Amino acid sequence: MIIPVLAHEITIAKESHGAPFNLKGYLAGNPLTDENFESNGKVPFLHGMALISDELFESTKKSCSGEYANPPNSLCAKYLDVVHEVTKDINKDHILEPYCIAPDEIRGRTIGKRLYNEEYPLLSSGLTCSDCRASTHALSRMWANNDTVRDALGIRKGTVDVWKRCRRDIPYTFDILSTVPYHFNVTKKGYRALIYSGDHDLTVTYVGTKAWIRSLNFSIDDDWRPWYVGGQVAGFTMRYSNNLTFATVKGAGHIVPEYKPNECFGMIVRWLSGAPL
């Protein structure tokens, strides 16, 4: 939500009083953009990834008329409950990874008005630390708050608060429900944009992202094609008018660099240099 709004404010500052910001464009990975687009993309994504049956998908689509964010009737709500029930133990950040959350990472998340409004439980499944990506997140917090580490980093005792990977206590008012207009306004002014998605992310699916990009009604300059790193397909990409590029990163989850650092680095370096993916 933050990146396109920040880019928009910078462009306004430059136009209104010549603020010295050398903004050329922006990039955003698996970006939360519009709750309706994101929620409506989840059911088709689940079906495309073989996580729900053809029959359940067709029944849900028919009863909901493709509107999953705000169920239009009780039958739609019933089918969405079934969809939730059969997929509730899937790792939302990467559907192929184990579903386990470290104790200090447990939190409530709301993704959409109905689907996946739940707490992430710590599963007592007997998984070892090496099985769970969340374990490395917990270890990073332990490491960063270790007195010996902090001393080596030159942090004076009492000057820096406890380090957290994701701070949930920042005073932040969630008053923008959709950043689609911000993406539109910034790119229409000629600024470049790269929007990329890990194609195994259920938190913000590439299906929903593609949908809001289509809603901009930009023409296609370079149609859907693979892009490569090291001679291997790293994902797929499309380039639109107004310098907007969309790309998927094959096999990546919600935080793309965490899952596919080499591919992500190659993608961003090419985009920054102005080269095609």
24-54 pLDDT per residue, tens: 999 999 999 999 999 999 999 999 999 999 9
Is 122's pLDDT higher than 50? no
Q: Cα-flanking dihedrals φ and ψ of residue 222, to 5°?
A: -140, 110
238 shares its domain with 164 = no
Q: Which domain holds residue 158?
A: 88-174
Q: What pLDDT shows up at residue 4?
A: 95
Q: Is residue 18 part of a domain?
A: yes
Confidence of residue 131 (pLDDT cuts 50, 70, 90): low
**Sign, CA torsion 160/161/166/171:** negative
Same domain, 216 and 154: no
Each residue's pLDDT tens digit, 135-180: 777 788 889 999 999 999 999 988 988 888 877 777 878 889 999 9
> From its phi and psi, is residue 222 left (phi > 0), alpha (psi between -120 and 50) or beta?
beta
State how beta strands 25-29 and 192-198 pair.
parallel
Q: How many CB atoms lie within 10 A of CB 241?
A: 13
Assigned token pair, 134 = 């969340």
Residue 93 domain flag: yes
pLDDT at position 98 over 60: yes
Are 203 and 169 in the same domain? Answer: no
198 band by pLDDT with thresholds 50, 70 and 90: very high
- Tokens encoding 98: 């184990």
Query: Do 108 and 191 belong together in one domain?
Result: no
Number of other CB atoms surrounding residue 84 within 10 Å: 15
Instruction: Show which of 115, 145, 174 is a domain's final residue.
Output: 174
Looking at the 3D structure of the chain, how many domains does it have? 2
Q: Identify which has the larger pLDDT, 201 or 165.
A: 201
Q: Given 119, 151, 174, which residue is the final one in a domain? A: 174
Position 216 in a domain: yes
Q: Is 66 a member of any domain?
A: no
| Whole-structure pTM value | 0.84
Which candidate, 29, 33, 62, 34, places its Cα nearest to that of 47? 62
Question: Do residues 176 and 1 lie in contact, with contact meaning Cβ atoms separated by under 8 Å?
Answer: yes
Together in a domain, 191 and 238: yes
In a domain, 83, yes or no: no
User: Tens digits of per-residue pLDDT, 217-246?
Assistant: 999 999 999 999 999 999 999 999 999 999
